[in-house]
Amino acid sequence: MARTAQQILDDARQLAPDERDWLAEQLLIGFNEDAFSALKKEYGEPEAGYEEWFRAGVEEALADDGSGDVPYEEAMKQFHKAIQKARKMKKTA
């Protein structure tokens, strides 16, 4: 007989903290790999130099302490707007 998701969660809650952390990490890794694979399938491989460009942008953002915080809701609006723009550009390409 198959176990339910609730039974599996109940068992996971009984694990020692380090084992529970390991389990959570493994589940997140699998989820992230699946999500990344789906993105690669939809958009293809990143262009040459993308990783270097991205890392430079992250470093610049980390060093920037003068632009202030953006509220989560506003950041998500901007993010979704950028995704929609990229999808429209992809359809017309």
Position 8: which residue type?
I
Q: Number of folded domains in the chain?
A: 1
Position 74: which residue type?
E
Alpha-carbon span 45 to 41, nearest angstrom: 8
Instruction: Give me the percent of the chain exceeding a pLDDT of 90.
Output: 17
Tokens of 1: 């007989």
pLDDT at 78 exceeding the cut of 90? yes
What pLDDT score was predicted for residue 47? 83
Which residue range forms the structural domain that includes residue 65? 5-92
pLDDT tens-digit map of 15-59: 998 898 888 888 888 778 888 888 888 888 878 888 899 899 989
